[in-house]
Amino acid sequence: MPNLFVDGKWTAGSGGTADVLNPFDASVVETVDQAGPDDVEAAVAAARAAFDDPRGWRAAPVAERAGVLRRIADLLQRDKEHIARVETLDTGKTLVESRIDIDDVTAVFRYYADLAATQEGRTVDIGVPHVLSRIAHEPVGVCVLITPWNYPLLQLSWKLAPALAAGCTCVIKPSEVTPLTSVLLVRLAEEAGVPPGVVNILLGTGPSVGAPLAEHGGVDMVSFTGGLATGQAIIRASAATVKRVAVELGGKNPNIVFADAVDGVGFETVVDNALTAVFLHSGQVCSAGARLIVEESVADAVVAEIAARADAIRIGNGLDPASQTGPLVSEAHRAKIEDFVASA
Ligand code: NAD
């Protein structure tokens, strides 16, 4: 079954194929199709036509769009075990974490379905006789959704669900490292009744697919989550055609421990929370508590306990219930982290 979805049809595209690797043992999980320049053109044209259709998705009653989002949520729950397994094979995270992700994604689709249904617009008395203002929510247009590899499905849901709820049409470009569950989500969107052209997905690298999408004149908005340098490149690329851009970039988050917290919630809870904050998904979380600032009077005890427990974390295959955390996402990423450790 081909992996690209353009204008309501699954297609192999013209960019060849690429192997998706299991982070645990670098085995090939799946060989997927890659988009070429003509696929980029076709996907944007399909999303553009679907958006510009005056009787299309944007004109559908909000209740209808919300209904499609709810069906996607139900289908996610129906296929939860399968999708969670694929997310683990693709990202390396444990099955427990993948299952939590699928529940989160389900909640996101339900949340935006509810929000759309209650936010159709409202009237406001602006204090001028015989004049009422009506606040209407308009869709932005064709949205390009570019996602990173750490939370592939969850990151996509935060972009796709609100875009669909609002009546936008989309071209999805998932990370080339972890594209598999994004493809599964598009299959569910198709099954849920999203019309042709409204959701399209292209697989490929940033330079070959992400960059031409960010530059494309037929695109109204780019929503991007990923690294700082890529975000800067996307903002530059989108400037030529003055697109709307939403970027969520890298972070370094301080986690502060005061002595009275240790007295209050207890030493165990403080250490548990600090460990989870930094080591969830092997630390590959943009909001990971990567810097720990501890009040001096409790610093030695907290740091010693965290170090001891960190040494004892069982790293292993995400599919193995005995693993407490999975491997890093790729060899390249591990090399980057080892570099940081060495320079530190
Ligand atoms: P990345 O920036 O390398 O890639 C992210 C996405 O952008 C991928 O789909 C990639 O193919 C695409 N891309 C790359 N170059 C592009 C270009 N020139 N034009 C358009 N698209 C391009 O990031 P990554 O390594 O996949 O993800 C890790 C980074 O993401 C980390 O810095 C992490 O902190 C950050 N992140 C941030 C958040 C957040 O919410 N702020 C969430 C998750 C991850």
> How far is it, in rounded angstroms, from Cα 276 to Cα 268?
12
Cα Rg of the chain (Å, integer): 22
Per residue, what are the HEC states of 80-110? HHHHHHHHHHHHCCCHHHHHHHHHHHHHHHH
How remote is the CA of residue 159 from the centroid of ligand 1, in Å?
A: 14
DSSP 283: G
Residue (of 118, 120, 117) closest to 135 by Cα position:
120
Q: Ligand 1: residues whose CB is within 6 Å?
A: 146-150, 173, 175-176, 205-207, 210-211, 214, 225-227, 230, 233-234, 248-251, 286
The DSSP line for 229-264 is HHHHHHHHHHHTTT-EEEEE-----EEEE-HHHHHH
* Among 230, 282, 285, residue to substitute to test ligand 1 (most atoms within 8 Å of Cβ): 230
Pairing of strands 199-201, 132-135: unpaired
CB 148 within 8 A of CB 226: yes
Q: For position 132, what pLDDT does the model report?
A: 87
Residue 226 Cα to ligand 1 midpoint, Å, equals: 2
Look up residue 63 and give its DSSP letter: H
Confidence at 47, pLDDT banded by 50, 70, 90 = very high
Q: For residues 324 and 342, what is the distance between their CA atoms, to the nearest angstrom?
A: 25
* Token pair 């958006």: residue: 51
> Mind listing the pLDDT tens digit for each residue in 191-200?
999 999 999 9
Does the active-site annotation cover 170?
no
Range list of β-strands (E), 169-220: 169-173, 199-201
Output the six-digit token pair for 93.
Answer: 């995270």
C-alpha–C-alpha distance, residues 251 and 120, integer Å: 35
Q: How many CB atoms lie within 10 A of CB 336?
A: 11
Which residue, by CA, sits nearest to atom 19 of ligand 1? 211
**248 has catalytic annotation:** yes
C-alpha 311 – ligand 1 centre gap (Å): 29
Name the residue with higher pLDDT: 44 or 250. 44
**Has residue 261 got a pLDDT over 90?**
no
Residue 1 Cα distances to 93, 187, 291, angstroms: 26, 11, 44
Q: Which atom of ligand 1 is nearest to the CA of 174?
A: 9
* Span of 50-59, 124-133, 328-337 with lowest mean pLDDT: 124-133
Looking at residue 301, its pLDDT comes to 95
Which pLDDT tens digit goes with each residue over 305-333?
999 999 999 999 999 999 999 999 999 99
State the distance from the centre of ligand 1 to the C-alpha of 250, rounded, in angstroms: 8
CA 206 / ligand 1 centre spacing (Å): 9
Region 132-154: mean pLDDT is: 94
Predicted pLDDT at 120: 67
Q: Which of 143, 168, 170, 286 is catalytic?
A: 286
pLDDT band at 32 (very low <50, low <70, confident <90, very high): very high
Prediction pTM value: 0.94
Q: Per residue in 172-190, pLDDT tens? A: 999 999 999 999 999 999 9
C-beta separation of 197 from 169 below 8 A: yes
Q: Are strands 244-248 and 221-225 parallel, antiparallel or unpaired?
A: parallel
Give the separation between CA 200 and CA 144, rounded to whole angstroms: 10
